[in-house]
A and B are shown apart, each in its own frame.
Chain A
């Protein structure tokens, strides 16, 4: 059981990083970004294409892919903050669903639907704990989740840009009237989360199934993790991601439960929604 749980930790770290990105987006630019992992997937695929077709060294191709992921995300952010500046969260998020589908289809068209020959940036075991090998990927993703969450927290609470961002997310119109450059800041947030999610997908993709759909759909467990913190709290998003990974890994070890493990994210989402809405009365919750 424990061994299985530790085996799920690599996935947990990945969920946690994506959950932190989702939480940041929701807090700062009022978007639930369904294309969060699809952007990462697309950046990775371009990186593989560059290394296979043009013979770029792996690290250089990966860096180019990460930059492209950031650019894609920034472009999407620019579109949303230009034309949907005053729209509500639902409308802004709906755009990203379209982008998710677009990126999956585009990667099929450009790169085919066969798996890509990824060259691992990290591979092999890092240490052994309780008879389970903890892979290098696990160590890096978990560390990255904690780092990104801490760094975001520091930026938001200790820098003037962070204060401006918080002002923007609380009262966008007021903040703009005060002269805070709304669009520039929003696009910067989009770009940053694009870079981070492409980075983490680049680390993980070589060590798991890496067809376009499964990478793009990582957003589902990540959303389940982000929901634990109500799309507001970074620390809970990290915890949620790690716990979800651990539970999935443990569930795979028990025959009766392993069928259920792929429905876990959905089960978690439903349970959290029911719990968070428990005090709502019918009229108000509708």
Chain B
């Protein structure tokens, strides 16, 4: 027993020694991320994009003469793997911060651990509610909840739609957050949804009965928070029913080239407030740098790669302004005290700040997909913003 204790103490001492050596000013700056790289739904592009930004920075000499070592780990869509990945990066590799994470579950699982370890995470794409309600996580994207408020605002205020219904696919504990997003829209506009059906299943095979229910209730527009395959199923169910005058108010989750190719009949149109400046607008100056970097590295042009790219870019901006040593403490302090950074790719400036929660990105750029075009087009000439309420 005593020998075991001695052994443990030795191990602890050596690892502590190693760690001390790691975080010195000579070694690389370790930055990590936890991502959905395998599993049912995957978004590898965010961390690939962040890596491309760091590689370019390293090639140009790094930060204060130090190279950035970027580690993107896989959470496999599995809570245990997400927890293990965070511990490997934060505890094992002594990362100074997490940058560009994109996962369906990671915030929920690791938020408390990040608080204990006094490390901050700038998610590329935050999805679950904990990403937007934790002191140590500040995603660069709008997130599905503000996105739903924006989608409804666009439908009721810009398109002048009435009789909007919501079909919500609820995974885990997301219902209160979507409800809050809908209430936010009601508070701004004074309007109410016709009805909310929160029983729509993820990965359902046939959505016909839900569509028939919505049609019979007299819905003229439907807002959904779908994953791509489900949304395609819902659109096809409406098409098979001959319901062609329904407008879809969806979220950035369906904003992809792939989806546009798969949808030939979009009813009266699919409208999405894109969380970043629309990447399908090929000639835009807003996305020029991002587009060139992605194309050079063979990374798909998606909203996810925009999120990862921006997270890495903001991070570099902040740590370049640090005067002394770049350690976890100094990076955390710098992010807490940073000045807001504006970027033409987003409608609201990014700031981490000292808050207890971070949900500051409140603008989307409306895009639309109309029947028969198979491609996304801009639906507006400027950002759509959620008006501040006092």
- In A120-166, the 8 Å CB interface with B consists of 120, 123-125, 131-133, 135-137
* Known contacts A115-B228, A253-B213; A123/B239 CB under 8 A: yes
The answer, yes or no, to whether A197 is at the interface (CB within 8 Å) is no
Q: Which of B40, B41, B212, B262 contacts A132 (CB 8 A)?
A: B212
The answer, yes or no, to whether A218 is at the interface (CB within 8 Å) is yes
Measured CB to CB, the nearest residue on chain B to A135 is: B240
Determine whether the beta carbon of B216 is less than 8 Å from that of A131.
yes
* Known contacts A209-B204, A218-B205; A115/B262 CB under 8 A: yes
Residues of A contacting B: mostly? mixed
Most chain B C-beta atoms within 10 Å of own C-beta, residue among A3, A132, A137, A252: A252
Tally of B interface residues using CB under 8 Å: 37
Contacts of B197 in A (CB 8 A): 255, 258
Contacts of B64 in A (CB 8 A): none
Q: Which of A7, A116, A120, A210 contacts B208 (CB 8 A)?
A: A7
Determine whether the beta carbon of B241 is less than 8 Å from that of A133.
yes
Q: Which of B203, B209, B228 contacts A4 (CB 8 A)?
A: B209
Contacts of A210 in B (CB 8 A): 229, 232-233
The answer, yes or no, to whether B320 is at the interface (CB within 8 Å) is no
Tally of A interface residues using CB under 8 Å: 44
Determine whether the beta carbon of B240 is less than 8 Å from that of A252.
no
Q: How far, in angstroms, from A125 to B239 measured CA to CA in the complex? A: 8
Q: How far, in angstroms, from A119 to B236 measured CA to CA in the complex? A: 11
Q: How far, in angstroms, from A259 to B197 measured CA to CA in the complex? A: 10
Determine whether the beta carbon of B209 is less than 8 Å from that of A249.
yes
Determine whether the beta carbon of A209 is less than 8 Å from that of B42.
no
Contacts of B213 in A (CB 8 A): 4, 252-253
Contacts of A124 in B (CB 8 A): 239-240, 242
Measured CB to CB, the nearest residue on chain A to B199 is: A258
Determine whether the beta carbon of A115 is less than 8 Å from that of B232.
yes
The answer, yes or no, to whether B79 is at the interface (CB within 8 Å) is no
- In B25-69, the 8 Å CB interface with A consists of 40-42
Q: How far, in angstroms, from A142 to B203 measured CA to CA in the complex? A: 23
Determine whether the beta carbon of A125 is less than 8 Å from that of B240.
yes
* Known contacts A213-B203, A214-B203, A253-B209; A125/B261 CB under 8 A: no
Q: How far, in angstroms, from A209 to B233 measured CA to CA in the complex? A: 4
- In A1-39, the 8 Å CB interface with B consists of 3-4, 7-8, 10-11
Determine whether the beta carbon of A249 is less than 8 Å from that of B229.
no
* Min C-beta distance of B167 to chain A, whole Å: 11
The answer, yes or no, to whether B329 is at the interface (CB within 8 Å) is no
Contacts of A119 in B (CB 8 A): 264
Determine whether the beta carbon of B210 is less than 8 Å from that of A252.
yes
Contacts of B210 in A (CB 8 A): 252
Q: How far, in angstroms, from A255 to B40 measured CA to CA in the complex? A: 28
- In B333-367, the 8 Å CB interface with A consists of none
**Known contacts A3-B216, A207-B237, A259-B199; 20 further A-B pairs (Cβ under 8 A):** A4-B209, A8-B206, A8-B208, A113-B41, A114-B258, A115-B228, A115-B258, A123-B236, A123-B239, A124-B239, A124-B242, A131-B216, A133-B242, A137-B240, A207-B236, A209-B206, A210-B233, A214-B229, A252-B199, A253-B212
What would 27 A/B residue contacts be, using CB atoms closer than 8 Å? Answer: A3-B212, A8-B208, A8-B209, A10-B208, A11-B208, A114-B228, A114-B256, A123-B239, A124-B242, A132-B212, A133-B240, A133-B242, A135-B208, A135-B240, A207-B237, A208-B205, A208-B207, A209-B207, A209-B229, A209-B230, A210-B229, A210-B233, A218-B205, A249-B212, A252-B209, A253-B213, A262-B201
Residues of B whose CB lies within 8 Å of any CB of A are 40-42, 197, 199, 201, 203-213, 216, 228-230, 232-233, 236-237, 239-243, 256, 258-259, 261-262, 264-265
Residues of A whose CB lies within 8 Å of any CB of B are 3-4, 7-8, 10-11, 113-120, 123-125, 131-133, 135-137, 206-211, 213-215, 217-218, 248-250, 252-253, 255, 258-259, 261-262
